[in-house]
Amino acid sequence: MAEPVLEIRNLSKSFGALKAAVGVNFDLMPGEIHALIGPNGAGKTTLIHQIAGTLTPDEGEIRFLGKDVRSLSVAERARMGLGRTFQVSSLAQEFSALRNVMLAVQARQGTSFRFFRPVMSDPSLTEPAMAALQRVGLQDRADVPAAELSHGERRRLEIAIALALEARVFLLDEPMAGMGPDGSRELTAFLDELRHQAPILLVEHDMDAVFALADRVSVLVYGRVIASGPAAEIRRHPAVREAYLGEGA
Ligand SMILES: Nc1ncnc2c1ncn2[C@@H]1O[C@H](COP(=O)(O)OP(=O)(O)OP(=O)(O)O)[C@@H](O)[C@H]1O
């Protein structure tokens, strides 16, 4: 059987008295989209922060590609291929779309000094960056500053950055947030294709997108996984309908 790309074991994290993760177990298998759903404040973003390395767990294990990554920095994890998009955009707003992706290409290639060539005309940076922009359909917007892109375009730019980092896994935190229905449909189709590149941990409130995309769904409530399984099963799960979808069982 295939090995999980990402394995979370007994992860716990508290902020004072508040338990944001309580013994969380979670796997991401090659090729799959595993959605993490749950009410506001359930601890979904906190879990992504712990995987990416911006928060340290109190207890538990995080294994990525078979390696325990708890002692690695955010940058080291990113270099291993932990590709993350953020709930709040982390783009360099004044830089063009192309420049934003080039920074990721440069980060991927490691620090190198380029004395002889201005960065913007260095094909070892511009070519992979343009290829990533093309994958997300932003090739015609390459020169536009990130700040002037639409919300949906910025989301796609973040994915282009993860592509340029040659992500081995995508951690997507509410990619549908702020999208209109057309944008959501477009992004859903795109993510469906993106899974072939690397598996996706999808934190999302848009249930149409979740049930259209996810192979598996885990439900987090007050830091605990209350149900986890194939999407069709989770949709029918009485505890999920009651606790999360707000219906009587
Ligand atoms: N740095 C922090 N310090 C203290 N409390 C925090 C911190 N980060 C998150 N929390 C709290 O931890 C809990 C889980 O928050 P988190 O943002 O992970 O939830 P979420 O499931 O992602 O919610 P949403 O769906 O609204 O984004 C919340 O009660 C939040 O207020």
Residue ranges and CATH numbers for the domains of the chain are: 1-81+168-249 (3.40.50.300), 93-166 (no CATH)
Asked if residues 81 and 162 have their Cβ atoms less than 8 Å apart, the reply is: no
Q: Which amino acid is at 37?
A: I
Mean predicted confidence (pLDDT) in 189-196: 86
ipTM: 0.94
Tell me, in angstroms, the distance from the centre of ligand 1 to residue 44's CA.
8
The whole-angstrom separation of Cα 141 and Cα 98 is 8
Model confidence pLDDT, tens digit, residues 24-39:
999 999 999 999 999 8
Distances (CA, A) of 203 to 145, 155, 240: 27, 14, 16
* Cα–ligand 1 centroid distance for 99 (angstroms): 32
Between the CA of 233 and the centroid of ligand 1 the distance, in Å, is 27
Tens digits of residue pLDDT in 69-125: 999 998 888 888 887 665 445 678 889 999 999 988 887 776 555 555 566 778 888
Structure tokens at 59: 């207890």
Q: Is the pLDDT of residue 249 over 50?
A: no
For atom 28 of ligand 1, which residue has the closest CA? 41
Please tell me if the CB atom of residue 42 comes closer than 6 angstroms to any atom of ligand 1: yes
Q: How far apart are CA 104 and CA 111, in angstroms?
A: 11
Whole-number pLDDT of residue 85: 62
CA distances from 43 to 12, 22, 54, 186, 212 (A): 11, 10, 14, 27, 23
Residue of 14, 18, 46 to test ligand 1 pocket, by largest number of atoms within 8 Å of CB: 46
d(CA 179, CA 183): 5
Ligand 1 probe mutation, 12, 45, 54, 176, most atoms within 8 A of CB: 45
Ligand 1 pocket check: which of 12, 13, 14, 18 to mutate, most ligand atoms within 8 Å of Cβ?
18
Ligand 1 centre to CA of 11 (Å) is: 15
219 CB within 6 A, ligand 1: no
Q: What are 116's two structure tokens?
A: 């002889």
Record the pTM: 0.86
Q: What is the overall mean pLDDT for the chain?
A: 87
Query: Could you tell me the pLDDT band of residue 234, with boundaries at 50, 70 and 90?
Result: very high
- Looking at ligand 1, which residue's alpha carbon is closest to its atom 3? 15
Quick one: pLDDT at residue 88? 46
What is the DSSP secondary-structure string of the chain? -PPPSEEEEEEEEEETTEEEEEEEEEEE-TT-EEEEE-STTSSHHHHHHHHHTSS--SEEEEEETTEE-TTS-HHHHHHHTEEEE-SS----TTSBHHHHHHHHHHHHH-----SSS-GGG-HHHHHHHHHHHHHTT-GGGTTSBGGGS-HHHHHHHHHHHHHHTT-SEEEEE-TTTT--HHHHHHHHHHHHHHTTTS-EEEE-S-HHHHHHH-SEEEEEETTEEEEEEEHHHHHH-HHHHHHTS----
Among residues 220, 211, 168, which one has the least CA distance to residue 188?
211
Q: Look at 236 and 97; give whichever has higher pLDDT.
A: 97
Query: What is the average per-residue pLDDT within 186-195?
Result: 86
